[in-house]
A and B are shown apart, each in its own frame.
Chain A
Amino acid sequence: AQRVTQPEKLLSVFKGAPVELKCNYSYSGSPELFWYVQYSRQRLQLLLRHISRESIKGFTADLNKGETSFHLKKPFAQEEDSAMYYCALPGGATNKLIFGTGTLLAVQP
């Protein structure tokens, strides 16, 4: 069965430090993976998708099929990066997404 695991509920770093938010998945076949972000008092929004191989707001994520991981990385954290981050993958025929439990990133000044 498809599953997404985000092992850290909270990740606290200082401004300027590197950030890595972990996401591991279980999926049959080639998954399409996403990172969503929810800033305080804002709606959930798509941050990036692995098929685009893009960098958004300095964040990147590489799909590692061998380790079944899709970790989100940023070399230098900013205070405005503080938010809840969710990893997601497709969950079946209805185009639904399965979301991880989320990691709260707190960037300290």
Chain B
Amino acid sequence: SAVISQKPSRDICQRGTSLTIQCQVDSQVTMMFWYRQQPGQSLTLIATANQGSEATYESGFVIDKFPISRPNLTFSTLTVSNMSPEDSSIYLCSAATGGHYEQYFGPGTRLTVT
């Protein structure tokens, strides 16, 4: 298994600004993922982040709005750019080790955009 931490745990931001969320894993992992989760709702995958290559975005999500970095095998960042109130959500980071589908999740970042 892997232990995942995220920073910040929550933030309140003004519309038009950007927020970068950090995700740290306590061991090297192959795949890292970023999700969005509205309170009480299911998870929506934003993108898959691989080290050494560009992130793979899901339908409806674009790099200009959600740029992702994956500089090494234990760390990734997600930036929410030019925020609007519709971006208010919980953002989750997860990780999977090589060849395995099961994912381990961070505690989430609760973002409120005013």
Listed in ascending order, the chain A residues whose CB lies under 8 Å from chain B are 32, 34, 43-46, 49, 84, 86, 90-91, 94-97, 99-102, 104
Contact = CB atoms under 8 A, between A and B. Distances in A.
Interface stretch (B19-27, B42-50, B77-85): B42-50
Nearest to A32: B101
A86 to B, nearest CB: 7
Given A43-B107, A95-B31, A95-B96, A49 B42 contact: no
A90 B96 CA distance: 12
B34 to A, nearest CB: 11
A86 B105 CA distance: 13
A22 to B, nearest CB: 15
Interface of B: 30-31, 33, 40-43, 45, 48, 50, 56, 92, 94, 96, 100-108
Contacts of A100: 42
Given A43-B105, A95-B101, A96-B48, 17 more contacts: A32-B101, A44-B43, A44-B105, A45-B105, A46-B104, A90-B101, A94-B31, A95-B30, A96-B33, A96-B45, A97-B45, A99-B42, A100-B42, A101-B41, A101-B42, A102-B41, A102-B42
A43 B45 contact: no
Contacts of B33: 96
